[in-house]
Amino acid sequence: MDLAAIIIGLAGVMATAAPVIFATVGETLSERSGVINLSVNGTIILSAMTSFAVAVSTESLFLGFVAGMIVGALVALIVAFTSLTLHQSQVAVGFVLTLTTASLAYFLGNPIMGLSGPRVRSLPLPLLSEIPILGPLFFQHTPLVYLSYLLIAGAWFWIFKTRPGLMLQGVGERPAAAFARGGNVRRLRYFYTILGGALVGLAGPTYSLGVKAGWKGTISGLDGIGWIALALTIFGGWDPLRAALGAYLFALLQWLGLVLQPSLPGIPSQVLQVAPFPLMILTLLLVTIGNADWVSRTLAGLPEDARRLVTRGLRSLYVSPPAGLGTPFEKE
């Protein structure tokens, strides 16, 4: 394989990671505020179908994308309402929604299966796209890929460098303290859950009007992506930068699966296609194993130098969720 082919492949990785990044950053914002939206997998499927249907019937890509985001926001609104206002379990509601929205997508999308529809064109950025290697790698994409770059940086900046971002962290970590500081915990949680949902809903059309154009029902290849996004949110330690890194890693693994296929004739192609999924989720083991009691007990038995080294290694990987994640907050 020559350099040009590798660059084209890696550019493809940047493009296929974009929808995963939208979903992961959306979920990160939602969970930062303390709400788990477990419906991501179904939401992506339903928003992909809806936006494709809207784009086909209105011949407008823009309306398609808007429709996808509205679907995502509406599903998130259901999660927020049932958990924040009606005090039902976020995990239960999210799980039911992930199944229901997927069924809904397959049912309603039946008549538009296999239709040809519009597709977002790539827009090489002037000057930047001329740079050797980096140009074709990063700057000869659709506007959505550029949006994914902006979103990673913007979300990181918002969460860690602005005053409202500080309040967002507070609402997720110590809702009572954030409330005492004048934050309207419930309203902020509603806001970030719906905003996060809209971003998840953006992932759908990024597939159906972009990287996996069209709607093919259950073989659209979208099932599972949402679970990956949820896993990446944890893997990323609720930090958009680290989560995006995970998304690129996942896209890279998928690409490697395709590239390596001819050289591994013993493994059926179906296996290589699903291989990145368990790999991504099992990396969670690496970032969470520091929580386990037996690890600290074993570490205590090691000689001083070794223990310090292992502890440092684990701590650099270790993540911990916002303390208020999934728990309701009632002002007294």
Which residue, 252 or 319, is less far from other proteins as judged by CB?
A: 319
Q: Which residues contact 286 (CB under 8 A, 6 or more apart)?
A: 317
6, 107, 114, 118, 318 from 111: Cα distances, Å: 39, 9, 9, 17, 47
Q: Which is nearer to other proteins, 81 or 191 (CB)?
A: 81
- Shortest distance, CB of residue 80 to other proteins, whole angstroms? 12
Find the shortest distance in angstroms from Cβ 129 to other proteins: 37
- Taking the complex as a whole, the smallest distance from the CB of residue 38 to other proteins amounts, in Å, to 8
Q: How far is the CB of 134 from other proteins (least distance, A)?
A: 34
By beta-carbon proximity to other proteins, the closer residue of 113 and 147 is: 113
Whose Cβ is closer to other proteins: residue 153's or residue 292's? 292
> Is the CB of 106 or the CB of 190 nearer to other proteins?
106
Phi and psi, residue 153, nearest 5°: -65, -45
SS3 79: helix
User: What is the Cα–Cα distance from 73 to 37, expressed in whole angstroms?
Assistant: 11
Name the residue type at position 43.
Answer: T
Min dist. Cβ of residue 4 to other proteins (A) = 32
* Interface residues toward other proteins, by CB under 8 A: 38, 78, 81-82, 85-89, 91-93, 95-97, 99-100, 102-104, 106-111, 217, 224, 227, 230-231, 234, 266-268, 270-271, 274-275, 277-278, 280-282, 284-285, 288-292, 294
Structure tokens at 113: 């299966």
Helices (H), 33-89: 40-58, 61-80
Helices (H), the chain: 3-32, 40-58, 61-80, 90-108, 134-138, 143-161, 163-173, 175-180, 185-206, 225-235, 240-260, 269-274, 276-288, 293-301, 304-317
CB of 21 to other proteins, least distance (A): 19
| CB-nearer residue toward other proteins: 199 or 280 | 280
